[in-house]
Structure 1
Amino acid sequence: MAPITPPAPNEAYLKKIFLHHLTRIYNGKRFLQERTSSLFDLASFKALELAIGEFGGDVKNQIERMETIYKLIGETPSPEVCNPIKTIIKDEFCLDDGQDIPLLNDLDIMLYLQILEHINITSYRMLIMIAKLLKYIEVTQLLTENFDESADNDKLFTLIAKEYITKD
């Protein structure tokens, strides 16, 4: 049997998909914002502390942009139903298990923050595609800014990890 290609969704359905994904990432970012300071406290490497501080500022900016997006499209964030970001962050990435090697804690923090940024990058990419289909020009720009910040944070944590574990 040949695979069936579904028809392109209509505008109302696209908006429903858009809101679903926007709400998931919005609620995930809000949850993450509440926990960024505790991640900062767990970091032992100065460069990582600075990066987490920058990351926290970016999370705040992204939340504000998403709140603007909701206003631009005449919607409000819906209550959290399922939050995959929350599941990943739950219990501070299991960093409270008495790890006595600071390098391991710091690398775990970077690993999990990069996992989150990869989720964000993928989500923003999908939201941008849908926003373009819906002709949400301002929304597309705001999502692109969020995408760029997440990609930059991913690169930053990669550079810090490299600095931490190599001599290059």
Structure 2
Amino acid sequence: MEPKTPKTPDAPFLKQIFLHHLTRIYNGKCFLRDRTSHLMGLASFKALELAIGEFGGDVKKQIERMEEIYKLIGEKPSAEVCNPIRSIIKDEFCLDDGQDVPLLNDLDIMLYLQILEHINITSYRMLIMIAKLLKYDEVKQLLTENFDESADNDKLFTLIAKEYVTG
């Protein structure tokens, strides 16, 4: 069986795809925003606690930008149907299962936050691509700012993990 190449979506379908992914990431960020202070409290290393605080501030800014995007395109966030980010963090990254070694707990926090940032980076990349096709220039700029923050947070957690592991 020969693979089929999908037809290029028209503008209304592109907007539907855009809204679908924007809503998923928006609801995921809102869910994460509400849990950032708890994660800060779990960190045993001061640099990690500060990094989570910075991450939480970036999450709030990204939510504000996404709310601006909704206004720019004349839409509102819809109710959460399926949220992959919520699924990843619903059990608080499995951090409440009696881990006695603070280093392992901190590394788990960083691992899961980086997984979330990789989801966000990929989602923002796709949203930017669709925004270009829809000629949403202001939206593209807001998404680029969110993308850059997520990429910077990923690098920050990588540096902290390196400090943990290499001393």
Per the normalisation by structure 1, the TM-score is 0.98
| Structure 2 residue 71 is the aligned partner of structure 1 residue 71 | yes
- Per-residue CA deviations over 1:63-90 (Å, capped at 9, x if unaligned) read 0000000000000000000010000001
CA–CA distance in structure 1, aligned partners of residues 31 and 2 of structure 2: 43
Q: Distance in 1 between matches of 2:133 and 2:127?
A: 10
CA deviations 1:145-166 (Å, max 9, x no partner) are 0000000000000000000110
1:153 — aligned with what? 153
- Unpaired segments of 5 or more residues in structure 1? none
How many residues are paired up? 167
Aligned to 1:52: 52
Cα distance in 2, alignment partners of residues 83 and 2 from structure 1: 33
Q: What is the percentage of aligned positions where both structures have the same residue?
A: 84
Following the alignment from structure 1 to structure 2, what is the Cα–Cα distance between the partners of residues 163 and 151? Answer: 19
Q: TM-score, normalised by structure 2?
A: 0.99
Residue in 1 that maps onto 2:141: 141
* Matches of 2:149 and 2:39, distance apart in 1: 19
Rounded to whole Å, the distance in 2 between the matches of 1:111 and 1:75 is 34
In structure 1, how many angstroms separate the alpha carbons of the residues matched to 2:4 and 2:112? 37
Structure 2 residue runs of 5 or longer lacking an equivalent are none
Give CA-to-partner distance per residue, 1:77-105, whole Å, 9 cap, x none: 00000010000001210101111100000
Task: Please state how far the C-alpha of 1:7 moved relative to its aligned partner.
Answer: 1.2
Aligned to 1:102: 102
CA RMSD of aligned residues (A): 0.5
Q: CA deviation at 1:6?
A: 1.1
Tell me how far apart the structure 2 counterparts of residues 85 and 75 of structure 1 sit (CA, whole Å): 22
Which letter maps to 2:158? T
Runs of 4+ more than 4 Å apart: none
Query: Quick one: distance in 2 between partners of 1:76 and 1:23?
Result: 9
**Cα deviations by residue, 1:14-36 (Å, 9 ceiling, x for unpaired):** 00000000000000000000000
For 1:33, the equivalent position in structure 2 comes to 33
* Counterpart in the other structure of 1:121: 121
Residue 2 of structure 1 deviates from its aligned partner by 2.3
Find out whether 1:86 has 2:86 as its counterpart: yes
- The Cα shift of 1:144 comes to 0.2
